[in-house]
Amino acid sequence: MNLQGKVAIVTGGSMGIGRAIALDLAANGAAVALNYRKHADEANAVIAEIERTGQRGLAVRADVASFADAQQMVQTVKETLGRLDILVCNAGINRDGVVWKMTEEQWDEVLAINLKGYFNYIRAAAPTFKEQASGKIVNITSINGLRGKFGQSNYSAAKAGIIGLTKSVARELGRFNVNVNAVAPGLIETDMMKDAPADVKDKALAEIVLGRLGAPEEVAHVVTFLCSDLARHITGEVIKVDGGQYI
């Protein structure tokens, strides 16, 4: 997959799945910018890894929930790296709780980052993609946006919203040669998951047909494919990377 000369933004690219995506895009030839809000050290470490591959990298302090920050980051990336070809919206948080105990703050924070954050960056990048008549957008959703999950009404609602957003924007930008797709991971073995209680892992493993948790790199490879010309006739799709967990 050849991404030579392309410039990508990956939100939430300092850790977990986002980190794997940023590194995989770079390994396939793209310059990569990522945002951070609190994790400057982790973001800069990813940029250092990108630069070791011979590609350019850029870390920008930006809150995905801020419309203004998204606009400014896109402008900074274009000025610093010269263009923008790829947007991967990945940043997200969990604030779990059953609906009868969930606070307004838990609901609002998840929706602000996990859904409005995606809109903010798509809105910021869309005029550039429209004007240049090319672009790739990949939104990271979740199988729980397709099926729901106990104790995650806020998270599942946001992830379901991402699917609707993906399909609508695919319709709107398709005439401008912009592909817009979503990737829906199942349970992936990130650093956070390694510390999860054993019973949580066991329940997930019982659902997964392939009998193991996914790796962040396995999600990243699908994202890179969707950002390449190999996927130029794919748009508006939701691709599950879950080892059969959804079945």
d(CA 199, CA 119): 35
Choice among 36, 118, 121, 155 that is catalytic: 155
Write out the two tokens for 44.
């800069």
Query: What are the tokens at 159?
Result: 């992830």
CA gap 162, 167 in Å, rounded: 9
- Going by C-alpha positions, the residue among 23, 5, 12, 4 that lies closest to residue 221 is 23
Q: Which residues pair with 61 in a beta bridge?
A: 36
CA distance 204 to 186: 9
Give CA–CA dist 58/40, Å, rounded: 12
Give strand pairing partners of 25.
Answer: none
Verify whether residue 36 is a known catalytic residue. Answer: no
Tokens of 112: 């602000």
Rounded CA gap, 114 and 131, in Å? 27
Query: Angle of helix 117-132 relative to helix 67-81, nearest 10 degrees?
Result: 40
Catalytic positions are: 155
